[in-house]
Amino acid sequence: MNPKPWGDTAVVGKPVSRIDAYERLSGAAIYSLDVLLPDMLHAAILRCPHAHAIVKKVDASAALAMPGVRAVLTDADQEARIPWHPDAQGKPVSRLFDPHCRCEGEEVAAVAAETPQQAADALRRIRVEYETRPFVIEMEAAHRAGATQVHDGGNYVYPPGTGDTERGDVAKGFAEADVVLEETYRTSCEIHTTMEVHGSVAKWDGKRLTVWNTTQGVFDDQAALAAALKMPLSDVRVIGHYMGGGFGSKLNLGKYTVIAALFARKTGRPVKLFLSREETFLSVGNRPAHTMKLKAGVRKDGTLTALELNGIGTVGAYTDWTTVGYQVADLYLCPNVRVKELQVYTHAGQSRPFRAPGFPQCSWALEQMMDALAEKIGMDPVEFRLKNIAAVSQAEENKPYTSTGFAECLREGARVFGWRQARERKKGDGAWVRGAGMAGGMWGYAGGPPSTAIVRLYADGSVNLNIGASDLGTGTKTVMAMVVAEELGVPLDRIQIESADTATTQYTGASGGSKTVMVDSPAVRAAALEVKAALVQMAAGQLQAAASGLSLVNGEIVSADSPDKRVKVQDLKTLKEQQVVVGVGRRGPNPAGKVIRPFAAQFAEVEVNTRTGEMRVLRMAAAHDSGRVMNRLTYENQVFGGMTMGIGLAMTEQRILDRETGKMVNANWHDYKIPTMKDAPADMTCVAIDPHDHECDTTSTKGLGEPAMVPTAAAVANAFYHATGVRMTSAPITPAEAIAALSKRRKG
């Protein structure tokens, strides 16, 4: 049976600093990148410098003879012939060091040496003979008949038509519209560029393998490693205590982990293999570029009559998924909707999930379209959206949402931002003009079981909390400790946390999909409640009172009827005998027949220099329905961080591949531009809309990390339009793009 939802809370929802802030800030926290083991070797990977090539020959003899070099691995080594990159049917199409390199950065060989410098020097001495092949890097080109093929089966990841959806009568919908608009929108390929680069440390003890990995999910890695090396789960231990960011790029097992493990086995020594910053631009994923042709019909009264999306995206060289249509089918009420999406292969780095995969891209198209429609029918953009709020999930067979605070997000966000005033403010008559824009959004995924958490209460009343989840830097550990503190009244500094270690913690899915809080906090709550119930039982015996009349208050169990009947937790006799109380909590199922979704609205005011195309984001406001706020500080971290990342998508970030060679030209942190503090406005506010959703899970939480960046870029683009009257359909809006568009109008 589910516990009662929380009413007023004492700890949950308050602004609480990270419980591991000192460790993180002082450098005491040991990230996988920091792990140093006695006798450890350092490994490095040689990568293919071509967009498409066949490795004809690898001569590593000179490298092997270099000082300090202990081992080399290539495709010639039987143990390294591990299948990799499953296709859409699950059949691997490549190997660890496959001689067929389908994009720049593919692994060709690796070296393990006594020092990182010796490993790097040795890489330069490996001689590789490549036969270069024609390549295709543009997704539109890959889709064309007769295009160079990335795989033998052609360039479609899934046969065209797969996953297309349609409801109602789209043609009729357009016929009924007063206004029909059609526009093609584009977003660029983005790289995750996590603060901690990707890599692993591997060590064998007999037949047992231990890996320190920078990962979003130790259990997923354990399973993938066990499968790759044909070992039982019990022989593979993955540890990921501290983590320097993932954004989706650390959900998959990396080749580097397997290579480190192979070297460690071969040499009998621990091996560390971390990628350079530059390597991470090529080979650990990206948010793929997308082209979205969107057609929309609306009546003068603001009723949407039809939506049609034709999208094309590329997964890069190997199978992944890159669809964007969910919000078109779900966010706004619309009876007639068609979504057709193509996913193609290109000779470029493989995509991976990236913070709300597909959603900011779709928002870029859909929310700019909504803005344009509102203008055409002379309706305020917020009002227009409010007219089209859905109470049921149209993309999920019209099942009701457990809650939707979308309307509230729009209203409250507009109020807090000062929407009307901002829209009416004078735009300015000098070079700099101002404008305000907004966008709505949602996230299309909810987590569920399994997750198991353990709470151990020691004889002195302090607690050990044991969770399998990885804290990616988002504050997971702090939030989970707050749940324990809430239920058991134990102060946070008396809670010790054990997390993200397959040998010592229990299974939960990876931290991704904005699901960690909604999946793991109910499990933690259940574990804490079990401890509480056990303590109450002990007290009932000791106080000779019925358990039902007892409650745990400030470290004491007290009888409601006769308040003199009370006992401190540390004074419980049974606890003294046992020395420990163990509570095991499990995440229960999601409600049947319902859909759990977070919603958001964001607002931006910008200033654009019409002479140069420079844009500054002056201020932003966000309103989010992500269910209950667990910790006000980590909540704001997610929203402000998400909006900053959204500014990157809107204004600065794009992978650039050289059209002549297919190689990435900006694979570094100067040329690939993530926003700096100067690009994010100092004035950012966020309001939390809590619909008191008591159905979604037992902590009333929905996801936040991903919705936080879904509407941002579109809000900025809409503000640019409001300021200038020029619609920027391609992201990012760099000064170059902006001045090109603005100067066209100047002449015309």
Residues that bind other proteins (CB under 8 A): 49, 116-117, 120-121, 276, 431, 609-614, 651-652, 656-661, 663, 665-668, 670-671, 673, 675-679, 734-737, 739-740, 742-743, 746
Phi-psi region of 137 (alpha: psi -120 to 50; beta: other; left: phi over 0): alpha
Half-sphere exposure of 715 (CA within 13 A, CB side): 35
Q: Which is nearer to other proteins, 170 or 643 (CB)?
A: 643
Q: Which is nearer to other proteins, 553 or 736 (CB)?
A: 736
Q: How far is the CB of 408 from other proteins (least distance, A)?
A: 34
Q: How far is the CB of 16 from other proteins (least distance, A)?
A: 31
Sign of the CA dihedral running 151, 155, 156, 157: positive
What phi, psi does 331 have (nearest 5°)? -70, -45
Q: Which is nearer to other proteins, 296 or 713 (CB)?
A: 713
Residues 6+ positions from 196 with CB-CB distance below 8 Å: 31, 32, 33, 214, 243, 244, 245
Q: Which is nearer to other proteins, 297 or 681 (CB)?
A: 681
Count of C-beta atoms within a 10 Å radius of residue 540: 18
Q: How far is the CB of 21 from other proteins (least distance, A)?
A: 24
CA separation for the pair 544, 78 (Å, rounded): 70
How are beta strands 615-625 and 683-688 bridged, if at all? parallel
Q: Which is nearer to other proteins, 337 or 741 (CB)?
A: 741
CA separation for the pair 333, 310 (Å, rounded): 19
Task: Say if residue 667 is exposed, middle or buried (CB neighbours under 10 Å; 0-12, 13-18, 19+).
Answer: buried
Q: How far is the CB of 374 from other proteins (least distance, A)?
A: 30
Q: Which is nearer to other proteins, 590 or 734 (CB)?
A: 734
Q: Which is nearer to other proteins, 218 or 275 (CB)?
A: 275
Query: Do residues 395 and 329 touch, judged by C-beta distance below 8 A?
Result: yes
* Tokens at 183, concatenated: 């526009």
Q: How far is the CB of 171 from other proteins (least distance, A)?
A: 40
Q: How far is the CB of 377 from other proteins (least distance, A)?
A: 33
Q: How far is the CB of 383 from other proteins (least distance, A)?
A: 34
Which helix (H) or strand (E) element contains residue 499?
strand 495-499
Q: Which is nearer to other proteins, 498 or 679 (CB)?
A: 679
Query: Do residues 483 and 255 touch, judged by C-beta distance below 8 A?
Result: no
Q: How far is the CB of 639 from other proteins (least distance, A)?
A: 21
Residues in the chain: 748
Q: How far is the CB of 421 from other proteins (least distance, A)?
A: 26
**What is the crossing angle of helices 516-543 and 476-488, to 10°?**
30
CA separation for the pair 270, 43 (Å, rounded): 10
Which helix (H) or strand (E) element contains residue 419?
helix 419-424
Q: Which is nearer to other proteins, 1 or 682 (CB)?
A: 682
Query: Do residues 184 and 663 touch, judged by C-beta distance below 8 A?
Result: no
CA separation for the pair 53, 40 (Å, rounded): 34
Query: Do residues 704 and 623 touch, judged by C-beta distance below 8 A?
Result: no
Q: How far is the CB of 746 from other proteins (least distance, A)?
A: 7
Query: Do residues 281 and 193 touch, judged by C-beta distance below 8 A?
Result: yes
Tell me the residue type at 573. K
Q: How far is the CB of 430 from other proteins (least distance, A)?
A: 8
Q: Which is nearer to other proteins, 105 or 311 (CB)?
A: 105
- Name the nearest CA neighbour of 280 among 197, 355, 386: 197
Q: Which is nearer to other proteins, 576 or 744 (CB)?
A: 744
Q: How far is the CB of 735 from other proteins (least distance, A)?
A: 6
Q: How far is the CB of 620 from other proteins (least distance, A)?
A: 15
> Given the structure tokens 């015309």, which residue do they identify?
748
Q: Which is nearer to other proteins, 162 or 612 (CB)?
A: 612
Instruction: Measure the N-to-C terminal CA separation of the chain; round to a whole number of Å.
Output: 68
Instruction: Decide: helix, strand or coil at residue 270.
Output: coil
Q: Which is nearer to other proteins, 531 or 738 (CB)?
A: 738
Query: Do residues 375 and 727 touch, judged by C-beta distance below 8 A?
Result: no
Separation of CA 122 from chain center? 36
Count of C-beta atoms within a 10 Å radius of residue 541: 12
3-state helix vs strand vs coil in the chain, percent to 5: 30, 25, 40
Q: Which is nearer to other proteins, 45 or 696 (CB)?
A: 45
Q: How far is the CB of 119 from other proteins (least distance, A)?
A: 8
